[in-house]
Chains A and B, each alone.
Chain A
Amino acid sequence: MGYKILVINPGSTSTKFAVYDDESEVFLENIFHTKDELAPYPDISSQYEFRMNTVLKALEERNWNITDFNAVVGRGGLLYPLESGTYEVNDKMCEHLKLGIQGEHASNLGGLIARAIADKVNIPAFIVDPVIVDEFEDVARISGCPLIKRRSIFHALNHKAVARKVADLFRKRYEDLNLIVAHLGGGISVAAHKKGRVIDVNNALDGDGPFAPERSGGLPVGDLVRLCFSGKYSYDEIISMIRGKGGLVAYLGVNDVRKVIEMIKNGNKQAELVFEAMAYQVAKEIGGMATVLEGNIDQIVLTGGIAYSEEFISKIIKRVSFIAPITVIPGEREMEALALGALRVLRGEEKAKTYNPPEEI
């Protein structure tokens, strides 16, 4: 008999959920919430009961009873920095998710909904590898200015999931490998995984590293300061330039790599240059991470939605294949990654970790 796991992944305007029987997905559904439905709630965390009931109702319609499940797992939110792993959702965590201790985000609802459902039938609730997973070595925290720290914020769930998958492929333990994983999505994060720990990664959210479909990545700092003081832009406008209107959007007005490839096929030279430049910057970031690992790298792993583009991947491979062999695992399987995280604990392969951050950070 397999373990039955309910997986919950809330987005800003929808709640995705799935049922897993061990590693196999039984079904997956994405329920969209209209503006009107969400309007009555003053903030994201107060939506949790509404979203939970929507999920419960949908389960009922599919003739699932929550007593069928062995565990509920939710996407983790903006908690205090923590080690990678599967965490049991405890009271402290719920409190911090409700407060949005490092910011409001739809993913904060994942743990809250999981816990509320699990409590009804006395089964465990988990979260797995939230974006604030932090395994930096101290040297990676230094930026060059004491007022600004480098922070570990990245696509940890997918990074860790594909890293384990690659370890399985090569019949090794993740903890025995050195990997460079590049997650190529709407944001791009390139991380150095040293024996199971992500010791450095560019912070795609804060403007660091390669540019991405919607983000600027790192920029020349002096010129950026001048732009901030030019009087032409408000704070919010500058932030949206680096996050939302940067990268491909800034140069080409589109955020979809498939469209860029179409533009190139139609002879658009600017599109060709911008596409090349994005790959160039990703390759440079991978090269940087190779020195973090002192050249001892077992595999470079390319993942995320853009990894489906062979045109893009080949441009990166040309520049970094000297570092290590390359494995491409396109796409992002968040639901599977969450289910597998819960499954490892249910099977006793891993212990659930306890969220217990220091009082003051």
Chain B
Amino acid sequence: MSYLILVVNPGGGSTKVALFDDERVIFSENIRHSHDELKRFPNTLSQLDFRVSVIRKFLEDKEVELGKLSAVVGRGGPFKPLESGTYRVNETMINDIQSGRTQADHPSNLGALIANKIARPLNIPAFVVDPVSVDEFDPVARLSGLKELPRISLSHALNIKMIAKRFAKEIKRRYDELNLIVVHLGTGISVTAHRKGRMIDVNNANDEGPFSPQRTGTLPLTGLIKLCYSGRFTEEEILKYVHTQGGLLSYTGTDNVLELQTRAQNGDNEALFYLSAMAYQISKEIGAMAAVLEGKVDAILITGGIAHSTLVVKEIKRRVEFIAPVEVYPGEDEMLGLALGALRVLKGEENPKEYK
């Protein structure tokens, strides 16, 4: 017998919906919501009933028999810090989301609510898996150098944990007996240290570490402080710059790594230089995480969209291969990550965690 799992992943202007038969995808589609449809809602949470009805209609069109579903799983939001795992959507979680007790207002907060709305009448469980706020830091990782600014754990936990577990399965070991460095290369970049199944340090991809296609990463602080007090920029402008308009985009005018790779391969030295600089900083962060793990590293796993760039991967490999063997898993599959998280619980391989 296999499990039929509905996966829901709400984004800003769309909701991704997929159906899985165990780990096999039956369909995965992105339902777009027009600006006109969404503009009548004052905030993200008030879109709940609208999005649910759109999904129900979509499933009807696809002739999905809801009665055959085993579970519904939604993307988790920027909840309060929590351990990695698959969480049953419970009243506490729903209350926290609805009363704004999360770290940010983000469409992913709808994931748990939608999953719950669909699952409840069917009497099947609703889950969320590894939200961005997964926090398994050792206390020592929380200090920055200034009391007012603690380091926090925000990462592409869903994809990172999925890849870590996939690798463990491939080499027939358990994730919780391995030490790994998992690197997610997307528009943001997370470099994470995993010690025996716990992600004990990670550069907060919004605020720290290597620069990415769109983000500046760590900057020399004096220069940044001078910009803040220059009177030339507002707070929003600087934050927007740091989070969405820095990095490759600010140096080369594009955040498209594959385009830069093509340019580099055609002799554009500037494109080559900035891709190398990004790889250089990613490598340094990997080296730092190797020290976190005291050099006991079973493997370095590189994943995310940029892992498709052979040039970037080669540049990183050259610098970090002395630490541990490097495995590459290009792309990011959030829908599969969510389905697998639900499946592990349905199969009894893992206990669901209780959100408190």
* A contact set with B: CB distance below 8 Å: 138-140, 142-151, 203, 205-208, 210-212, 215-229, 235, 238-239, 241-242, 246-247, 250-251, 273-274, 276-277, 280-281, 283-292, 294-296, 318-323
Q: B206, B221, B288, B292: which contacts A224 (Cβ < 8 A)?
A: B221
A–B pairs, 11, beta carbons within 8 Å: A143-B219, A143-B220, A143-B223, A144-B219, A144-B250, A145-B219, A221-B218, A247-B145, A251-B143, A284-B291, A323-B295
**Contacts of A148 on B, CB cut-off 8 Å?**
219-220, 223-224, 227
Separation in Å of the A295 CB from the closest CB of chain B? 3
Instruction: Assess whether A292 is in contact with B235, with CB atoms less than 8 Å apart.
Output: no
**Contacts of A235 on B, CB cut-off 8 Å?**
225, 229
Q: B149, B215, B319: which contacts A144 (Cβ < 8 A)?
A: B215
List B268-282 residues whose CB lies under 8 Å from chain A: 273-274, 276-277, 280-281
What's the dominant secondary structure at chain A's contact region?
helix
**Contacts of B321 on A, CB cut-off 8 Å?**
295
User: In the complex, A67 Cα to B280 Cα: how many Å?
Assistant: 52
B116-124, B169-177, B237-245 - interface stretch: B237-245
**Contacts of B204 on A, CB cut-off 8 Å?**
220
Instruction: Assess whether A322 is in contact with B284, with CB atoms less than 8 Å apart.
Output: no
User: Does B246 touch A at the CB level, under 8 Å?
Assistant: yes
User: Does B147 touch A at the CB level, under 8 Å?
Assistant: yes
User: In the complex, A277 Cα to B147 Cα: how many Å?
Assistant: 12
User: In the complex, A205 Cα to B210 Cα: how many Å?
Assistant: 20
- What residue of chain B has the Cβ atom nearest to residue A202's Cβ? B220
User: In the complex, A223 Cα to B145 Cα: how many Å?
Assistant: 13
Instruction: Assess whether A277 is in contact with B227, with CB atoms less than 8 Å apart.
Output: no
- What residue of chain A has the Cβ atom nearest to residue B143's Cβ? A277
Instruction: Assess whether B242 is in contact with A222, with CB atoms less than 8 Å apart.
Output: yes
Instruction: Assess whether A321 is in contact with B295, with CB atoms less than 8 Å apart.
Output: yes
Separation in Å of the A262 CB from the closest CB of chain B? 20
Separation in Å of the A3 CB from the closest CB of chain B? 40
**Contacts of A283 on B, CB cut-off 8 Å?**
291-292
Separation in Å of the A244 CB from the closest CB of chain B? 12
Separation in Å of the A261 CB from the closest CB of chain B? 17
| Given known contacts A220-B149, A288-B285, A142 and B277 CB-to-CB distance under 8 angstroms | yes
| Given known contacts A221-B224, A222-B242, A292-B319, A227 and B289 CB-to-CB distance under 8 angstroms | no
Instruction: Assess whether A208 is in contact with B221, with CB atoms less than 8 Å apart.
Output: yes
List B127-141 residues whose CB lies under 8 Å from chain A: 139-141
Instruction: Assess whether A226 is in contact with B319, with CB atoms less than 8 Å apart.
Output: no
User: Does B62 touch A at the CB level, under 8 Å?
Assistant: no
**Contacts of B247 on A, CB cut-off 8 Å?**
144-145
- What residue of chain A has the Cβ atom nearest to residue B139's Cβ? A273
User: In the complex, A56 Cα to B228 Cα: how many Å?
Assistant: 47
Instruction: Assess whether A284 is in contact with B144, with CB atoms less than 8 Å apart.
Output: no
Instruction: Assess whether A220 is in contact with B288, with CB atoms less than 8 Å apart.
Output: no
Instruction: Assess whether A143 is in contact with B211, with CB atoms less than 8 Å apart.
Output: yes
| Given known contacts A144-B216, A211-B143, A288-B285, A295 and B228 CB-to-CB distance under 8 angstroms | no
**Contacts of B29 on A, CB cut-off 8 Å?**
none
User: Does B77 touch A at the CB level, under 8 Å?
Assistant: no
Instruction: Assess whether A139 is in contact with B273, with CB atoms less than 8 Å apart.
Output: yes
Query: A144-B217, A144-B218, A145-B242 are known contacts; what are 10 more A-B pairs with Cβ within 8 Å?
Result: A144-B215, A145-B247, A148-B220, A148-B223, A220-B149, A273-B139, A277-B140, A284-B288, A287-B292, A319-B295
List B13-62 residues whose CB lies under 8 Å from chain A: none
**Contacts of A321 on B, CB cut-off 8 Å?**
295
**Contacts of B243 on A, CB cut-off 8 Å?**
222
- What residue of chain B has the Cβ atom nearest to residue A292's Cβ? B284
User: In the complex, A294 Cα to B322 Cα: how many Å?
Assistant: 7
Q: A221, A228, A229, A250: which contacts B216 (Cβ < 8 A)?
A: A221
Number of residue pairs spanning A and B whose beta carbons lie under 8 angstroms apart:
224
**Contacts of B207 on A, CB cut-off 8 Å?**
220-223
Q: B146, B227, B322: which contacts A147 (Cβ < 8 A)?
A: B227
**Contacts of B291 on A, CB cut-off 8 Å?**
283-284, 286-287, 319-320, 323
Separation in Å of the A142 CB from the closest CB of chain B? 4
**Contacts of A241 on B, CB cut-off 8 Å?**
146, 148
User: Does B11 touch A at the CB level, under 8 Å?
Assistant: no
User: In the complex, A208 Cα to B283 Cα: how many Å?
Assistant: 17
Instruction: Assess whether B280 is in contact with A292, with CB atoms less than 8 Å apart.
Output: yes
- What residue of chain B has the Cβ atom nearest to residue A285's Cβ? B288
**Contacts of B285 on A, CB cut-off 8 Å?**
288
- What residue of chain B has the Cβ atom nearest to residue A222's Cβ? B207
**Contacts of A247 on B, CB cut-off 8 Å?**
145
- What residue of chain A has the Cβ atom nearest to residue B138's Cβ? A280
**Contacts of B218 on A, CB cut-off 8 Å?**
143-144, 208, 218, 221
| Given known contacts A207-B222, A273-B139, A295 and B322 CB-to-CB distance under 8 angstroms | yes
- What residue of chain B has the Cβ atom nearest to residue A223's Cβ? B149
User: In the complex, A217 Cα to B146 Cα: how many Å?
Assistant: 9
Instruction: Assess whether A251 is in contact with B149, with CB atoms less than 8 Å apart.
Output: no
User: Does B318 touch A at the CB level, under 8 Å?
Assistant: yes
User: In the complex, A289 Cα to B228 Cα: how many Å?
Assistant: 29
Instruction: Assess whether A216 is in contact with B144, with CB atoms less than 8 Å apart.
Output: yes
Q: A216, A224, A286, A287: which contacts B224 (Cβ < 8 A)?
A: A224
Separation in Å of the B266 CB from the closest CB of chain A? 21
Instruction: Assess whether B277 is in contact with A139, with CB atoms less than 8 Å apart.
Output: yes
Which 3 A-B residue pairs are closest in the complex by CB-CB distance?
Answer: A322-B295, A295-B322, A207-B221
**Contacts of A143 on B, CB cut-off 8 Å?**
211, 216, 218-220, 223
User: In the complex, A352 Cα to B225 Cα: how many Å?
Assistant: 38
**Contacts of A280 on B, CB cut-off 8 Å?**
140-141, 292
**Contacts of B280 on A, CB cut-off 8 Å?**
139-140, 142, 292
Instruction: Assess whether B250 is in contact with A145, with CB atoms less than 8 Å apart.
Output: yes
User: In the complex, A147 Cα to B241 Cα: how many Å?
Assistant: 11
**Contacts of B296 on A, CB cut-off 8 Å?**
322
Separation in Å of the B194 CB from the closest CB of chain A? 16
User: In the complex, A220 Cα to B238 Cα: how many Å?
Assistant: 14
**Contacts of A217 on B, CB cut-off 8 Å?**
144-145
User: In the complex, A212 Cα to B221 Cα: how many Å?
Assistant: 15
**Contacts of B292 on A, CB cut-off 8 Å?**
280, 283-284, 287, 319
Instruction: Assess whether B145 is in contact with A216, with CB atoms less than 8 Å apart.
Output: yes
Instruction: Assess whether B222 is in contact with A239, with CB atoms less than 8 Å apart.
Output: yes
Interface centre among B273, B285, B288, B321 (most CB of A within 10 A): B288
- What residue of chain B has the Cβ atom nearest to residue A215's Cβ? B145
User: In the complex, A250 Cα to B149 Cα: how many Å?
Assistant: 11
- What residue of chain A has the Cβ atom nearest to residue B234's Cβ? A229
Interface centre among A203, A221, A281, A289 (most CB of B within 10 A): A221
